[in-house]
A and B are shown apart, each in its own frame.
Chain A
Amino acid sequence: MKFIEIANLRKVYRKGSVKIPALRGVSLEVERGEFISIVGRSGSGKSTLLNLVGGLDTATSGSIVVDGTDLAGMDRSGLARHRRHTVGMVFQSFNLISHRSALENVMLALTFGGVPRGERRPRATNLLRRVGLGRRLDHNPSELSGGEAQRVALARALANGPDALLLDEPTGNLDSSTAREIIDLIAGLNRDAGLTAIMVTHEQALAREVSSRIVELLDGRVVGSGEEGRAS
């Protein structure tokens, strides 16, 4: 069985009486340990797909089976558990909590993850060291560069030991050299820790270099999928 099986996934947003279809029947299978990049124009449904896999949103129809469990059958607390333990999400705009230090941002995820109080600080410190931020533990997001902030977000996503990283344009707000560092870091986590990675990105060149597969979306449908990444 595949790690993630997406079948005929549809998502329709409603604005008043107007229906806006974001996904029109997406099917996709992801193996455990794969690094998939999802590319496509703005509005093609990339982020929607990622949010559905991440359990932030619910599909209109179709199914997403992750590790044998269908997200469609989960209640809200089940989805919260899914977000807490199965996936770790990283966003373009980092989404760190601004009044908390790097360490506290990571510790908050551990708090929700039910990690005992005494273990949170050492675990968060280790996670930040792992992403190369061992010396910036007590800095607030405003005192960090974009690359550093995204490292904190990565450490936070890894906090509760997820099986998969869901990355929504993780390099979108970074300059090219910093973007490179972040992509390398993600690729390293995918390769060394065996973490499944699904990354939404605009940067096709970068995607081609690191991912095992690229999936292209257009108007809510998969239009291209191939093993054209690093594996080939």
Chain B
Amino acid sequence: MNLLDMVELGFDNLRRTKLRTALTTLGVIIGIGALTSMVSFGTGMQKNITETFEENDLFTSLFVTAADVEEMAEADPDRVREMMEEVPEPLTDETLEDIRGVGGVELAFPELRFPVRIQVNGSETRTMLRALPASMGAYKPFSETAYGRFYDDDESNEVVVRWQTLERMGILVEEEPSGAAGRDTTGKTRSVHPDSILGTEIVVISSTLDVSRIPTNPLEAFSLVRDIPVKEIETRLTIGGIMKRSAAFGSNAWNAGLLIPMETGKRIPSLGFSSIWEILRRQRRGDAYASIYVRVGDVRNVEAARDSIESMGLSVFSIADQLEDIKKGFMIMDAVLGAVGTIALVVAALGIINTMVMSILERRREIGVMKAIGGSENDIKMIFVVEAGAIGFVGALLGLLLGWVVTKIANFVANSYLLPDDAPFINFFHFPAWLILGAVAFSVVVSLAAGLYPAVQAARVDPVTALRHD
């Protein structure tokens, strides 16, 4: 008897007890469905995070700060004051030049980021402005503007606006404007062709301290409580490019509604701080930077560059370091989710054992006949093992289908109701080949193991008692 014969005989028996086979298989389907959908969530999250890192080129990015800000934030106030005294040299243009001289460093520029209001065609919104050197246009995600281009000059007046920021202002940029002019009469959203928005003037309104209004008489200082001496300054720039949120997952490391050339950014007056630490630092030196972004040309040079910068007495933070921790976290999550799924499969395996033990009781006579006409114990054992394996195999395929359908639905629900409207579609689940093949193999192995005991029982059936006429 060859394998094909065993499969044929095994399936033949399953066909005869359709309902029972279907119910037993359903147990496996649910088990595998639960297992794969859970594990695919873990792998999906891991994939999304890794992709975000890759898309934002974070593996070659380092963030340099003057002192360990986190450590300071945790210290008590007295200690902070001490630490402020200890802070060696704040990040300055000289520090920047030193970092640029480190081997492997391709690009280094200071963090320049502040909130502004912007106006385009009469619509206004608030957003975060970020100044980036033109050379960043060579890297993802800046190399992939949706419309127009990334500026190529650090002194340029051209800026890049985020698509979603424009959308928030009621400007829907589309290749094929839908609804045409009809919608702008409602005052809500108007659809415009990219060509008509590129080259348009954008007014950037930033705030800065109005030195002339700072009271000189200490008695007048109370007026500060009511009226902070801030003046607004308008800078007129041009929209040169439009970017869509490219990262599929989580917040973008470059999150800002407006990207402008480095030198242009430095020219825009602003309060210019993004944290209390920056204000404290600026007390000591006006041109200090909060942090410096460093891009290393090759992933292999990241460690060396990091060591060199650290030896300059600076703190270096790399998000890539955290990826390993994040991955470890996801592996643990995968294991926990996998264990829950495995429990479902173990229950299904008990179902297989139960079904097969019942089936052997019913088929004692048939087993006796098989033995009488020459079936060996091995033949009979194999028929039952194959039956169990078939349940596992078919259950795994349908279980994968079930898992896939469930995750599609879950994905749809999550994207429709849980995420903000402007977020790009996120695929929370991922079915890599190892998961698909592993699930099938696992299901078959578990089912074969479940079928082993009943199969041995079947092989031991005594033909004389089984055939004794009733």
Contact = CB atoms under 8 A, between A and B. Distances in A.
A95 interface: yes
Interface residues of A, number: 30
A112 B375 contact: yes
Contact of A83 (B365, B371, B467, B470): B371
Given A84-B374, A91-B469, A112-B374, A97 B369 contact: yes
Nearest to A84: B374
Contacts of B441: none
Contacts of B368: 95
B1 A111 contact: yes
B181 interface: no
Contact of B373 (A81, A93, A109): A109
Interface stretch (A49-57, A132-140, A185-193, A206-214): A49-57
Most A-side CB within 10 Å, residue of B5, B9, B366, B374 = B374
Contact of B374 (A57, A85, A117): A85
Contacts of A113: 374
A54 B372 contact: yes
A160 interface: yes
A213 B373 CA distance: 26
A188 B365 CA distance: 30
Interface string B377-388: 111000000000
A97 B372 contact: no
B18 interface: no
B373 A84 contact: yes
A145 to B, nearest CB: 18
B460 to A, nearest CB: 10
B374 A109 contact: yes
B224 interface: no
B199 interface: no
Interface string A162-176: 000000000000000
A89 interface: yes
A114 B372 contact: no
Given A95-B365, A97-B366, A117-B4, A76 B376 contact: yes
Interface string B458-470: 0000111001011
A91 B466 CA distance: 12
A85 B374 CA distance: 8
Contacts of B5: 111, 117
Contact of A112 (B365, B373, B462, B463): B373
A108 B383 CA distance: 13
Contacts of B134: none
Interface of A: 51, 54, 56-57, 76-77, 80-81, 83-85, 89, 91-93, 95-97, 99, 108-109, 111-114, 117, 156-157, 159-160
A92 B467 CA distance: 10
Nearest to A173: B469
Which one of B369, B371, B462 has the greatest number of beta carbons of chain A within 10 Å? B369
Interface in B1-33: 1, 4-5, 9, 16
Nearest to B366: A97
A95 B466 CA distance: 10
B1 A83 contact: no
A91 B373 contact: no
B112 interface: no
A189 B293 CA distance: 98
Q: Which 3 A-B pairs have the closest CB atoms?
A: A84-B374, A80-B376, A112-B374
Given A57-B464, A91-B469, A95-B467, A80 B377 contact: yes
B14 to A, nearest CB: 12
Given A80-B379, A81-B374, A83-B371, 6 more contacts: A51-B464, A77-B377, A83-B373, A84-B373, A85-B374, A91-B372
- Most A-side CB within 10 Å, residue of B370, B372, B373: B373
A157 B370 CA distance: 12
A112 B372 contact: no
A80 B365 contact: no
A99 B16 contact: yes
22 contacts: A51-B464, A56-B464, A57-B463, A77-B376, A77-B378, A80-B371, A80-B376, A80-B377, A81-B376, A83-B374, A84-B374, A84-B376, A85-B374, A93-B469, A95-B368, A95-B372, A99-B16, A108-B370, A109-B373, A111-B9, A157-B373, A159-B373
A54 B372 CA distance: 8
A56 B371 contact: yes
A91 B373 CA distance: 11
A160 B372 CA distance: 13
Interface string B347-365: 0000000000000000001
A74 to B, nearest CB: 12
A85 B1 CA distance: 14
B376 A156 contact: no
A99 B372 CA distance: 18
Interface-central residue, A89, A111, A157, by most chain B CB under 10 Å: A111
Contacts of B369: 95-97
B420 to A, nearest CB: 61
Contacts of B470: 93
Nearest to A106: B373
A96 B467 CA distance: 11
Contacts of B373: 83-84, 89, 108-109, 112, 156-157, 159
A77 B376 CA distance: 6
B469 A89 contact: no
Contacts of B4: 117
Nearest to B5: A111
Interface string B136-154: 0000000000000000000
A77 B252 CA distance: 69
A56 B376 contact: no
A100 to B, nearest CB: 8
A80 B463 contact: no
A113 B372 CA distance: 12
B275 to A, nearest CB: 79
Contacts of A108: 370, 373
Interface string B432-470: 000000000000000000000000000000111001011
A112 B467 contact: no
Nearest to A160: B374
A96 B374 CA distance: 14
Nearest to B459: A76
